[in-house]
Structures are given as structure tokens and as C-alpha cells.
Chains A and B, each alone.
Chain A
Amino acid sequence: MFDLDVWQEIFSTIKKNKLRSFLTGFAVAWGIFMLMVLLGSGNGLSNGVASNFQNRAKNTMFIWTNKTTMPYAGLKSGRRFNYKTEDYNDLKALKGVNLITGRFYLGARTFSAGKEYADYSIMSCHPDYEKIEGYIVTKGRFINTIDIKQKRKSLMIGLDMEKVLFANQDPIGKVVNVGGIPFTVVGVYDRDNRRSGSREGIIPLTTAQALFNGNNRIHGFSLTAHEMSKAENLALEQQIRSILASNHRVHPEDQSAIGIYNTLKDYARTMGMFAAINMFIWLIGIGTLIAGVVGVSNIMLISVKERTKEFGIRKAIGASPRSIIGLVLLEAVLITSVAGYIGMVLGVFLMEGVNAIMINSMGGGGSNMTIFLNPTVDLKVAVSAMLLLVFAGSFAGYIPAKHASKVKPIEALHDE
């Protein structure tokens, strides 16, 4: 079945029926090409959006306070309250909480180092803040537990601040005056922060409470949960809500007093949207494939019809029914696989080209925000789509071929 002569016979048939072969091939190549482009674009879109979540932990909760909206335990509504260090300890002790930091904001203060000075706001936190927000420490270290325990006057500055305050020197270990209090620089961070860039001084939360009239107040918390299901995550959120409510005599039903923003919900919603878009793209892709398959089937059907007489002659001369089927099938497989391969290569080239152009145009620095990233297709998907088309093309060829092989030579020969 697979000797060279059979292939030569098939090649000569293909070569002498160029238009027919081209049309069959084109339907296949186009189907695969469109599928590659569609799937690539879909992947690019979801990769792009997923990358925007990557810096930040995907299951973070941000917690803050609002005025109460319901009277409770003899207290009127519209009351303001503050979280305390005890809340931090309670939440930290919760099972299911992985990382946690308090957040205590101080307004802008003047930072001065030597002759250089500038105004920056100050943010105070616990060490876990680094991982929760995805800080990149370029020099030195982040705030650590000893800083917290000993209320050390350690300061973390941003890349932009380093440029202003320490032009060309190494800032680590240098002293910076913050609102008249000397702090020691322990690290420099570079972070793509949409709110304040890298222009915010970071100090230990306990230090901030002690030095800047904080008492034991905390403005809010950021925390991440351990790996868990969405339902468990929502239960944890509810648990946090009730602990904070009872600590501060807030009505348990008062949703607005204790503000919680859970990124898991957001992430899940976005990912759900992309799952839907992906499904839609697959739907279109499969539609394109089916169109390709129908095209191939049509051409195979016409081709076999056209060749009925030829098959009759071949049978009269001594061709077995199997050899007739083989002739049609191998021709179909050869054309569809070669054309499918060409379509796949063109599609992959286009998507890789788009990818290369995008990487170049993004260049260095600036915002890494993107909604389109790495728009390429998994090779496994590409190859299986191609195999599917080859299989469908052969199947489409098989039915008329089987039919043709059964036609009696006399009938075929009389079919003018």
C-alpha cells in the first residue's frame, strides 16, 4: 500500500488536476489559518489581562472603615470608628489567613537628605505588605519583623525618591529626615503602582503609631488567604466581617461600615469573562473548521463523481475496489495534510510576528499595562486541529470513494 509507485501514481494525478487539488488544499489551509489567528488572538487577550493580575496576589482582601449606617447596641448610626492593633492580632490568628498587614497612612512630610529635600506621603505597614502588593526590592531589604518589634526608625524609599534625594550615592544606611525625625534607609523599591508610582516612603507600622500620634490605630488591612475554594474564601470574608463588627460594636448586618474589597471576586469575574470569550472563539474556530471540512467534502464528492469513468476504466483493467479507495483517500490525506501544514505555519508566523512587533513597540520601561500579550497558540492545539481536518477530509473522501469502488465498471463506462 505504501510503496513508492502508489505515491507516484497519486502525485501524477494531483499534478494533472492542479485546480481541483488547489481548491481542496485552499479550503483546508484557510480553515487552519483562521483557527490559528482566532485562537492566537483569544490567547493574547486573556494572557494580557491575566498578566495585570500577576503582580498582585490573586486572592487579596483590602479592608477599610466607613461611617456606620445602622444603630447598634445603643450607638447611633453615622458613627466613625478606627481599627486597632488588637484587630490585627485577631485577624492574623485566623485560620485561612496567609499574609496580613495593617495600613496606617500619614500625610505628606518633608524628606531631606543632605541638601536635597522633597515632600512625599508616608505609608506604614507590616512586613507581609511586600508580598501582598508585589513590591520589587532593588536595593537593601523591605521592612522586617525586628523593625516592627523594636519600632525602629527604618525607611524604605522608592526609586524616584532615591533619584531625587541621593542622586548618585548608595542610599542604604544613610539618614533621611522625615518631618524632622531621622530615619535610616534600609531599602529601595521599584514598583509599578498606579496610585503613587514609587514616590511613597514606607516605614514600620509600630514606628508610625509611636512617632506620629497613632496610638494603636490602624486605617485598614490588606490580607491574602491560603489556597482555598471560592466558597471557603467567601466564608473567610464573612468571618473577618463578623470579628471586626463585634470588636467595634457594629451591627452584624452593616455591610457598608466595614469596607472589604475582595480581588478574588474581581479575578474570578474577569477570568470568567475570558473563559466565555475563549469559548466564543472556539465556537467560531470550530465553525471555520467545519466550513473547511464541508469545502473539502464538496470537492472530494465532485472529484469522485468526475472520476467515476476513470475508476471504471481502472477496474476494467484490473484495479481492485481497495486500490480505488486507496487512491482517493491517499490523495485526500496528502492534499489536506500538506495544505493544513502550510496554513498552520502561516498562522503561527503571523501570530509570532504580531508578538515580536508588540514586544518591540513596548520597549523598555513605562507602564507594563497591556490587554494583549503573547498571542500564540499551543502547538498541541494546532496539530490536533490539523489532524482533525485531515481526518475529516479523508472521511469526506471515503464515502464517495467507497461508493465509486462499488460501481460496476460497465455502468461507469457508460456514464458519459
Chain B
Amino acid sequence: MISIKGVHKSYQTGQNSLHVLKGIDLEIQQGEFVSIMGSSGSGKSTLLNILGILDNYDAGEYHLDNTLIQNMSEKKAARYRNDTLGFVFQSFNLISFKNAIENVALPLYYQGVKRKKRNAMALEYLAKFGLQDHGEHLPNQLSGGQKQRVAIARAIISKPKVILADEPTGALDTTSSYEVMEILKKINQEGITIIVVTHEHDIAEMTDKVIKLRDGIIEDIVINKKN
């Protein structure tokens, strides 16, 4: 599903060049539940951005679903993001003036699904996560855990092949964190590849495979026992 070979990425800050990724090789198969761990500055967010076609890379190759992702036009990148990827963020990133249903339905709007149909689908997905009574609520009327569940519903409504989660539990308490991980696991069991970036060990342990990043290179890959 995901194949990365020798990817380099550096950022230009004034006259200094910061070499963040120093040759990453990574293979992730369809249906895997993977976490990327590393201290801050290890390059894990940069790697996720490249995986999410939110950022370009300098050298190497990145294949997503057997397509080479390289120097893509914004328009094409947007289409790929819409078709194959779903995002979950630490700060939820819901649109504040749209209610839960409208937030969840937004990816379908960009796919050209009619309003009635997409709102019905959004409600269906919210119901899946026990939020059927909160459809009309605005994000600021929801708790953190509820917001993240809305965000996950939004990520999967377009039936993506890969879900990228950037510290999805970073802003949540333990109970909500575990709830969110349960949901991700359930989604994974439906065959969707999930990649979680985290720095919490207990969260990483819930995934099948932990990729440890350090100073821009993969230091270790740990396979967790099936729990």
C-alpha cells in the first residue's frame, strides 16, 4: 500500500538548512495498523506530512497505492487526499461554524455527493460512533472525545484506503484516548490501513507495528504481539 525508498527532506530556515529526514525506507502493507514513535524533532510529523501529500520531499520515491507521488499539482494532490487518505489531527480541526453532520459530510461535498445524500451518510457514520444525538451540535458544544470521534467519522466517510492520525490522543484524557484507539482498531479490522503518530508508549503498544524514528532515520521496527 505504502512504499517509501530513500526519502530525504530538509527545511530551509534563512541560511541554515535543516536536514530532517535522512533516507527513510518503509513498506506498509494494506490493512496494517502502524504507529510511528519518536521524540520531538525526530521527523515523525514531517514523515506523516509527506505520507499525507501535505508536503513535498527532496529525494527518493514514494508510492501510494502503486502510484508514484512526486511533484504533484495542488489539484491532483487534493484529489488523492480526498480519494485515498483520511486525516485525524491532535487538535481535531473541525470547522467551528459547521455542525457535526456538516463537518462529517464535507469530504463528500468535495466528491460531488448531493446534500441530502451526504447528510444522511454523515448521520449514519456519527451513529456508528454513538453520536447520533449530537448531529446538530457545533464543535464547541462537544467534549474532546466526541470531537475526535466526529473527526474520525469525517476521515472515514470518503472510504479511504489509509488513515493518517497525527497524535490523535494528544489532547484527550486516558479514557477518551482508549475509546479513540478502540474505534481506530475497529476501523482497521474493516481493512483500512492506519498510521498513528504518537509519543505515548501505551498508545503505540495498541498497534501491530511500531516504527521508531530518531534523528531522521528509522532506528527500529518492533512487531507487537497480537493482543
Q: Which residues of A contact B (CB under 8 A)?
A: 5, 8-9, 12-13, 16-17, 309-310, 312-323, 405-406, 408-410, 413, 416
Bound together, the chains give a CA A8 to CA B78 distance in angstroms of 22
Q: Is the CB of B54 within 8 A of A408?
A: yes
A residues near B87, Cβ cutoff 8 Å: 316-317
What would 25 A/B residue contacts be, using CB atoms closer than 8 Å?
Answer: A5-B114, A5-B115, A16-B97, A16-B98, A309-B93, A310-B95, A312-B93, A314-B110, A316-B87, A317-B81, A317-B110, A317-B154, A318-B107, A318-B158, A319-B78, A319-B110, A320-B79, A320-B110, A321-B78, A323-B110, A406-B74, A410-B54, A410-B55, A413-B93, A416-B91
Q: For residue A311, which residue of chain B has the nearest CB?
A: B95
Bound together, the chains give a CA A405 to CA B107 distance in angstroms of 17
Across the interface, A12 reaches (CB within 8 A) one of B54, B102, B111, namely B102
Bound together, the chains give a CA A323 to CA B79 distance in angstroms of 12
- Measured CB to CB, the closest approach of chain A to B136, in angstroms, equals 13
Q: Is the CB of B82 within 8 A of A318?
A: yes
Bound together, the chains give a CA A232 to CA B54 distance in angstroms of 76
Bound together, the chains give a CA A12 to CA B102 distance in angstroms of 10
Q: Which residues of B contact A (CB under 8 A)?
A: 49, 52, 54-55, 74-75, 78-79, 81-83, 87, 89, 91, 93-98, 102, 106-107, 109-112, 114-115, 154, 158
Q: Is the CB of B93 within 8 A of A320?
A: no
Given A13-B97, A317-B154, A416-B91: A5 and B78 interface contact (C-beta under 8 Å): no
A residues near B94, Cβ cutoff 8 Å: 313
- Measured CB to CB, the closest approach of chain A to B169, in angstroms, equals 17
Interface centre among A17, A313, A314, A323 (most CB of B within 10 A): A313
Q: For residue B83, which residue of chain A has the nearest CB?
A: A318
7 closest cross-chain pairs (CB), A and B: A318-B82, A16-B97, A318-B110, A320-B78, A320-B75, A321-B74, A317-B107
Q: Is the CB of B78 within 8 A of A315?
A: yes
Bound together, the chains give a CA A13 to CA B79 distance in angstroms of 23
Q: Is the CB of B54 within 8 A of A318?
A: no
Q: For residue B96, which residue of chain A has the nearest CB?
A: A310
Bound together, the chains give a CA A17 to CA B96 distance in angstroms of 11
Q: Is the CB of B115 within 8 A of A316?
A: no
Q: For residue B79, which residue of chain A has the nearest CB?
A: A318
A residues near B106, Cβ cutoff 8 Å: 314, 317
Known: A318-B158, A322-B75, A413-B89. 7 other contacts (CB 8 A): A5-B115, A314-B106, A314-B110, A317-B87, A317-B110, A410-B55, A416-B91
A residues near B158, Cβ cutoff 8 Å: 318
A residues near B83, Cβ cutoff 8 Å: 318
Q: Is the CB of B81 within 8 A of A318?
A: yes
B residues near A321, Cβ cutoff 8 Å: 74-75, 78
Q: For residue B52, which residue of chain A has the nearest CB?
A: A316
Interface centre among B87, B93, B154 (most CB of A within 10 A): B93
Q: Is the CB of A408 within 8 A of B55?
A: yes
Bound together, the chains give a CA A316 to CA B89 distance in angstroms of 11
Q: Is the CB of B78 within 8 A of A313?
A: no
- Measured CB to CB, the closest approach of chain B to A58, in angstroms, equals 63
Given A310-B95, A313-B93: A318 and B74 interface contact (C-beta under 8 Å): no
Q: For residue B102, which residue of chain A has the nearest CB?
A: A12
Bound together, the chains give a CA A323 to CA B102 distance in angstroms of 17
A residues near B112, Cβ cutoff 8 Å: 5
Bound together, the chains give a CA A318 to CA B94 distance in angstroms of 14
Q: Is the CB of A9 within 8 A of B75?
A: no
B residues near A320, Cβ cutoff 8 Å: 74-75, 78-79, 110
Q: Is the CB of B114 within 8 A of A316?
A: no
Q: Is the CB of A316 within 8 A of B54?
A: yes
- Measured CB to CB, the closest approach of chain A to B21, in angstroms, equals 15
B residues near A17, Cβ cutoff 8 Å: 97
Q: Is the CB of A316 within 8 A of B93?
A: yes
- Measured CB to CB, the closest approach of chain A to B135, in angstroms, equals 15
Q: For residue B45, which residue of chain A has the nearest CB?
A: A410
Q: Is the CB of B49 within 8 A of A410?
A: yes
Interface centre among A12, A312, A320 (most CB of B within 10 A): A320
A residues near B110, Cβ cutoff 8 Å: 314, 317-320, 323
Bound together, the chains give a CA A319 to CA B87 distance in angstroms of 13
- Measured CB to CB, the closest approach of chain A to B163, in angstroms, equals 12
Bound together, the chains give a CA A320 to CA B81 distance in angstroms of 10
- Measured CB to CB, the closest approach of chain B to A153, in angstroms, equals 92
Bound together, the chains give a CA A405 to CA B49 distance in angstroms of 18
Bound together, the chains give a CA A312 to CA B94 distance in angstroms of 11
A residues near B102, Cβ cutoff 8 Å: 12
B residues near A416, Cβ cutoff 8 Å: 91
Bound together, the chains give a CA A402 to CA B57 distance in angstroms of 24
Q: For residue A15, which residue of chain B has the nearest CB?
A: B97
- Measured CB to CB, the closest approach of chain A to B167, in angstroms, equals 12
B residues near A5, Cβ cutoff 8 Å: 109, 112, 114-115
Q: Is the CB of A8 within 8 A of B97?
A: no
Interface centre among B54, B81, B111, B154 (most CB of A within 10 A): B54
Across the interface, A317 reaches (CB within 8 A) one of B49, B82, B97, B114, namely B82
Bound together, the chains give a CA A13 to CA B49 distance in angstroms of 29
Q: Is the CB of B79 within 8 A of A316?
A: no
Q: For residue B55, which residue of chain A has the nearest CB?
A: A410
Q: Is the CB of A9 within 8 A of B93?
A: no
Q: For residue B78, which residue of chain A has the nearest CB?
A: A320
Bound together, the chains give a CA A27 to CA B111 distance in angstroms of 36
A residues near B91, Cβ cutoff 8 Å: 413, 416
- Measured CB to CB, the closest approach of chain A to B141, in angstroms, equals 14
- Measured CB to CB, the closest approach of chain B to A296, in angstroms, equals 21
Bound together, the chains give a CA A12 to CA B55 distance in angstroms of 31
- Measured CB to CB, the closest approach of chain B to A400, in angstroms, equals 17
Bound together, the chains give a CA A323 to CA B106 distance in angstroms of 13
